[in-house]
Amino acid sequence: MKNNLRFLLLTTIVAVIGLAVISSTSIQVNDDIAALTQHVSHKGAVAGVEARGQAELIIDYGEESRQYQFEVAQGVTTLELLNRASLKDNILLVTEDFGDSGIIVDGIGQFQNGDDDKYWIFYVNDQMASTAVDKTFVSPDDVIKFKWEVSPF
């Protein structure tokens, strides 16, 4: 009986901690989206920066994909394009900040890293990116693709 009570208590504590972590991540995502909204003009270009050209963003969920065209200017990152798409179509975006190493995408919509052994991997012009989403800059005519797939690693 004591072991069952200990197990129940431990399970409850773990669940509460898990909910606290999820809540803080959601708050961070919402804060990031709100901050981005203040920096994006109605035309989809960064406020105060002259647009230089178009870039394409593709979110590939496996069974379906969504495509977006955005004006880009110098200094625009793949994270910013993904945030724009998230705002446009009300898509939940979950990220994790690893400090100097950068930000990774943990989830887009209902698909979270690790589910079904799949992860969000992104490509720039069909080449797997080697830097984090906040450290990968977009140029005009780039095609950025976030793909939900089994990791090659």
* Three-state SS annotation for the chain: CHHHHHHHHHHHHHHHHHHHHHHHHHHHHHHHHHHHHHHECCCCCECCCCCCEEEEEEEECCCCEEEEEEEECCCCEHHHHHHHHHHHHCCCEEEEECHHHCEEEEEECCEECCHHHEEEEEEECCEECCCCCCCCECCCCCEEEEEEEECCC
77-89 tens-digit pLDDT: 999 999 999 999 9
Sign of CA pseudo-dihedral 32, 147, 84, 48? positive
81: tokens are: 């394009």
Interatomic CA distance for residues 96 and 105, integer angstroms? 7
Side-chain half-sphere exposure of 73, counting CA atoms within 13 A: 12
* pTM across the whole model: 0.67
Domain boundaries, the chain: 38-150
pLDDT in tens, 29-73: 555 554 444 344 334 444 455 558 999 999 999 989 999 999 999
How many CA atoms within 13 Å lie on the side-chain side of 96? 9
pLDDT grade, residue 1 (50/70/90)? Answer: low
Amino acid at 78: T
User: Which pLDDT band, with edges at 50, 70 and 90, does 106 fall under?
Assistant: very high
For the domain made up of 38-150, the CATH class stated in words is mainly beta
